[in-house]
Amino acid sequence: MIEENGTEQVYRLITDLVDIALFPALLLAREYHMRWEIENTLDELKTHLNGRKTPIRSKTPRLVVQEIYGWLLAHWAVRCLMFKASTNAGISPLRLGFTSSLRVLRRAIPLFQQVTTPTLPLFVSWLMSEILEQEIPPRQGRTNPRVVKKPRSKFKSKKRAHRSHTTQLQPLTFALPPTAA
């Protein structure tokens, strides 16, 4: 149980880390959210930064390691620029999105190739202001509560088996009233 805002919260965490001396339950429950930070970072590396179907182009082990280092350095450079921009603006780095910052940097590559050394600080400040324009708005509260939805109809849905059973209709017969002669 973890105490949050004066109330105790019960968490259940299923794991295969069974050594309680190395992995106490309270530590695992407190640090579980960090797993998602790692998952997000891996997503940034594999999906957004790489962006290819073929993950590694290199064929030799040495070049594979070099390519992975290149990806890690590129990710680090994007994150450092985002951190510097957010620190200068006085906002949390979590308010800047990796994907939108990466798009800004990819659009700026042709301009960066034309920059001379004296204008480099001006270009970097322009780049940080472009990244800050992509700031993620503050998160709104949940508008849809987590509840079980009611089924749309109380009747079963129509399936193929229902279509093959046709009912035999009896021919309608009408008796005409006797006519007065």
**For residue range 66-107, what is the model confidence (pLDDT) as tens digits?**
988 988 898 999 999 999 999 999 998 888 999 999 999 999
**pLDDT at residue 173 greater than cutoff 70:** no
**pLDDT at residue 60 greater than cutoff 60:** yes
For residues 8 and 13, give the distance between their C-alpha atoms in angstroms, rounded to a whole number.
Answer: 16
The residue-averaged pLDDT of 166-176 equals 63
Q: Is 7 helix (H, G, I), strand (E, B) or coil?
A: strand
Q: Which residues contact 150 (CB under 8 A, 6 or more apart)?
A: none
pLDDT at 180: 64
**pLDDT at residue 169 greater than cutoff 70:** no
Tell me, what DSSP letter sits at residue 113? T
**pLDDT at residue 135 greater than cutoff 80:** yes
